[in-house]
Amino acid sequence: MCLRDLVRELREYRGVSRKSEVSDLASRLLRIPEGDLLASIGEDAAAIDYGDRVLLLAADGIMEDLISTDPYWAGYCSVLVNVNDIAAMGGMPLALVDIISCSDSDVRERIAEGLGHASEKFGVPVVGGHLHPDTTYSAIDVAVLGETDTQHLVRSSGAVAGHDILFAMDLDGQFTPRIPYSWDTSSLKDTDEVRRGLASMHAVAPMISAGKDISNPGSLGSAGMLLEASGAGGRVDVNSIPKPDNVELVQWLKAYQGCGFVVTCEPTQTESVAREFSRRGLIAAACGSVEDGNRMSVESEGDREMLFDFSTDTLGCRPPQRI
C-alpha cells in the first residue's frame, strides 16, 4: 500500500473519524483546568489535586457492535480501556463502577463474566454500579478512580517542538477472534505481569513531556490526539513503529493496543525511556519528532504525506480556550 492510500484509509477508519464529534460536546460540558482541577479537556482522565495525591477519574463505554459480536470480550474491554486511561496519566487504578443496560439475561451474564475476569486480572475491584434490565439496547459503561502524585502525573498536552515521539507496545499478544483490531496482551498473562505493564507510564513519567495510551484511533490516531492536545504538529516514520513480524502494517496501525503508549521526551532521554519500557515488557522506539505548527505528517521510505491538519481536523482534543 502506498503512503497516500494508507493515509486515506487511516483518516476514514471509524476509530479515527468518530472522534470528530467529541469537541463540541466537551467544550460545552468540561471545565478548563484551574485550581484543584489539574487536567480535563483532551486528557485520558481528569486529574484532581487532593493534598499529597492526585486523584484520576475517567469513564468509557463500549461500542455496541462489540457487544453484539462478543459480550464477554465487551465486558473485559470495559475494564481494560478504563485502567489504560489511568495508566496513561501515570497512575494506578483503585476501583471501578459499572452501568449495564441489557434486557437479555444471557448477554448480561456474559458481559458480567468478562468484566469480572478483567477486574481480577488487573487487580481492580468493582465496588458498585447500576443495572437497566429493560432497555431496547445492550450497553456496558464503566467509570474508574485512580491515583498518582504531581511528580508522576502525565498529560497529553505537554509535547514540545524538538522532542522525540516514541511508541511503546507489548508485542506479546494476539488479535481477538472476530475482532480484527483488538490486540489482546493481557488475558493470557498473570496479574503481576499485567500490572507491571500498566505501571510503565508511572515509571517513565519524570522523563517524558507528554503521553497517551494507544486506544480506539490506533497508533497514529492516538499520536494525533496527543499532538492536538499539545497545540503542536509532528512527523512519524510509520516503518519505525514497533510491530510483530506476522502482522500487516495497516491492521497494526489501526489496532487498539492492549498495553501500548505514545510518549514524547527530550532526545537526551529517549534511550532511558525506551530502556524503562523494556524492563516492563514493552518494546519502545523513537519514530519521529514533535514540530511547531498544526500538522501531523507520516513518512515511509522517503515519501511524506499529511495525516492531520489541526486547523481543520479535530480528534476531540483541541486545547481549551478561555472565553
Q: Write out the DSSP string of 15-35.
A: HHHGGGGHHHHHHHHPPPPBT
* CA distances to 45, 55, 62, 283, 314 from 82, in Å: 9, 14, 11, 22, 22
Same structural domain for residues 145 and 162?
Answer: no
- Mind listing the pLDDT tens digit for each residue in 155-165? 999 999 999 99
CATH number at residue 236: 3.90.650.10
Residue that finishes a domain, picked among 150, 165, 193: 150
Mean pLDDT across 224-234 = 97
CA atoms within 13 A on the CB side of 19: 24
Within this chain, do residues 158 and 302 fall inside the same structural domain, yes or no? yes
Q: What is the pLDDT of residue 101?
A: 98
Amino acid 321: pLDDT: 56
Other C-beta atoms lying within 10 Å of the C-beta of residue 2: 10
> Residue 85 is inside which H or E element, if any?
helix 71-88
Helix (H) or strand (E) holding 145: strand 139-148
> How confident is the model over 118-126, as a mean pLDDT?
97
C-alpha closest to that of 26 among 229, 311, 256, 295 = 229
Report how far residue 293's alpha carbon sits from residue 316's, in angstroms, rounded to the nearest whole number.
Answer: 18
Sheet-wide strand order for 37-39 = 37-39, 46-50, 53-61, 139-148, 92-101, 126-132
Q: Taking 80 as the threshold, does the pLDDT of residue 26 lie above it?
A: no
Percent of the chain with pLDDT over 90: 90
Shared-domain flag, residues 256 and 305: yes
pLDDT at 323: 36
Q: Across all residues in the chain, what is the average pLDDT?
A: 95
**Residues 271-320 pLDDT 10s:** 999 999 999 999 999 999 999 999 999 999 999 999 999 999 999 998 76
CATH classification of the domain holding 52: 3.30.1330.10
Do the beta carbons of residue 73 and residue 62 sit within 8 Å? no
* Residue range of the domain that includes 146: 33-150
DSSP assignment of 162-190 equals T-EEEEEE--S-EEETTEEEEEE-STTS-
- Whether residue 176 is contained in a domain is answered as yes
pLDDT tens-digit series, residues 47-102: 999 999 999 999 999 999 999 999 999 999 999 999 999 999 999 999 999 999 99
In this prediction the pTM is: 0.95
